[in-house]
Amino acid sequence: MSSDPIIRLDGLNKSFPIYEKPMHRLYQMLSPQAHKQRWFRQFQALKNISLTIRKGETLGVVGRNGSGKSTLLQVICGTLTPSSGEVRVDGRIAALLELGSGFNPEFTGRENVFLYGTVLGLTRQQVQERFDDIAAFADIGEFIDQPVKNYSSGMYVRLAFAVAINVTPDILVVDEALSVGDEAFQRKCFARINRIRDDGATVLFVSHSAGIVTQLCDRAVLLDRGELLLDGSPKFVVSRYHKMLYAPPGRIDAIRDEIRNDRDDGGVPTAKPVLSMSSVNQDDERLVASATALPSPCATGLSQGWFDEGLVPQSTVRYDKRGATISMPCVETPDGRRVNVLRAGDDYVYVYRVSFQENAVGVRFGMLIKTLTGVELGGAASSLPQDSLPLVEAGQTIEVRFRFRCLLDGGTYFCNAGVLAHIAEEETYIDRLIDAAMFRVMPQPERLATGVIDFCVSSEVAVASGSEARA
């Protein structure tokens, strides 16, 4: 990734007029300049946004609905003009925002490929050279020569995506476009985005999926009510976003202030603009409190693991409590010995306690294991919704135990803990801890499995005879 900025926003503001009644638009048009303001009020979608994005960087944009994410991307792409502030973009943009907005419904798919490609900045010859790749990616068969007004919504979006993704952009902007199509097509889209990113393009990615943001992005920003609240590593930003997303309505303003002035005393860097990938990586490296070498299991005599007092999570985030409190999260062996350095292949138990300060209805518990960078590997709930605890009374304490087999590669992992209950007939978290506990898995030099998770694959290799090989 280059250190040269490719997108620079300085003091960006964007406002829209809001009319109480449709007729007020007409009144505004007919009114003298001095009286036009009386017929509408200004809604400020973006407020003093300053942001630098560098070449080759993959930036995730997260935030609640209505926070200004799509408006920000449209201003960067040039489809909206800022009310004030400066926007500088150096490079060709391919925007996957309103896919197919440049299509003519009376034209065939083939004709729209040339039309849409021209809109995205390609010459007719360039579109002709890439047409076969576009048609193969869209995979709509003979419908390529049918009017797009006869297309299903899925076919329409597939063709539009295929054109946009073959522009060879310097900057790729994606606004939840990957929620379309079937699973196979979505996987193909992700693979192409990864290839564009690996080729050095800058990617701006909006998604409500924490897993996608932490997996695809080098860096993330949090928008809310048009403000840029936080800028840092994806795991750091997403954890604060989720805390605000699941907070009671009356606590939103206080949590916004906490995030805006975030100071993590445990060593996680204060939220600030990230200028290079090295500083982003340091965000995650500092989440590991102990960097000492692992002792030999033979030396300790504890072949199933042991407890390292220095291995303490420094990135724990607690949601606003609503009548319950999670405490004492830890990993134990099946016989009850506390450990946080584990051996692959052995069974362990993730344990925490929940004390209830108020009566809770329809109670369930959950856990989740994540990588150091926040990729969600898997977890479990204590029951299905219909089998939840009907009532837990105030004053009770419940111990929750999740038994699991450690099938992970050597490295550091984090565990979440959560309590769900029904409030106003809606299931919601009444307490949740992000990065409640952490553990290491011992290195395995003899490990044949590849990747993070060992699926216990067995292999057979045999020499086939010549006749069998020919058959």
Query: In this predicted model, what pLDDT tens digit does every residue of 271-294 receive, in sequence order?
Result: 333 333 343 344 444 444 333 344
Position 266 scores a pLDDT of: 35
Report whether CATH 3.30.930.10 matches the domain 5-224.
no
Helix axis angle, 153-165 relative to 109-119, nearest 10°?
Answer: 40
Position 17 scores a pLDDT of: 82
Residue 297 pLDDT > 50? no
pLDDT in tens, 317-326: 899 999 999 9
Position 468 scores a pLDDT of: 57
- CA atoms lying within 13 Å on the CB side of residue 432: 22
Look at 10-14, 130-134, 192-196 and tell me which has the smallest mean pLDDT.
192-196
Residue 36 pLDDT > 80? no
Helix (H/G/I), strand (E/B), else coil: 237? helix
How far, in Å, are 120, 130, 149, 318, 389 from residue 113 at the CA level? 10, 10, 14, 49, 56
The span from the CA of 255 to the CA of 270, in Å, is 16
Q: What percent of the chain has pLDDT over 90?
A: 44
- Provide the token pair at 399: 């111990």
Single pTM value for the model? 0.74
Domain 5-224 identical in fold to domain 308-441: no
> Where are the domains positioned within the chain?
5-224, 308-441
CATH of domain 308-441: 2.70.50.60
Phi, psi angle pair for 249, to nearest 5°? -55, -35
Q: Which of 91, 74, 79, 92 is nearest to 175 (CA)?
A: 74
Length of the chain: 471
Q: What is the mean pLDDT of residues 333-347?
A: 94
- Provide the token pair at 335: 């016989």
- What is the band of 263 on the pLDDT scale with cuts at 50, 70, 90? very low
The span from the CA of 260 to the CA of 254, in Å, is 10
Taking all residues of the chain, what is their mean pLDDT, rounded to a whole number?
84
- CA atoms lying within 13 Å on the CB side of residue 92: 15
- Given the DSSP bridges, would you call strands 171-175 and 93-96 parallel, antiparallel or unpaired? parallel
Position 275 scores a pLDDT of: 34
Q: What is the mean pLDDT of residues 125-147?
A: 91
Instruction: Evaluate whether 360 touches 368 at the Cβ level (below 8 Å).
Output: no
Instruction: Evaluate whether 158 touches 141 at the Cβ level (below 8 Å).
Output: no
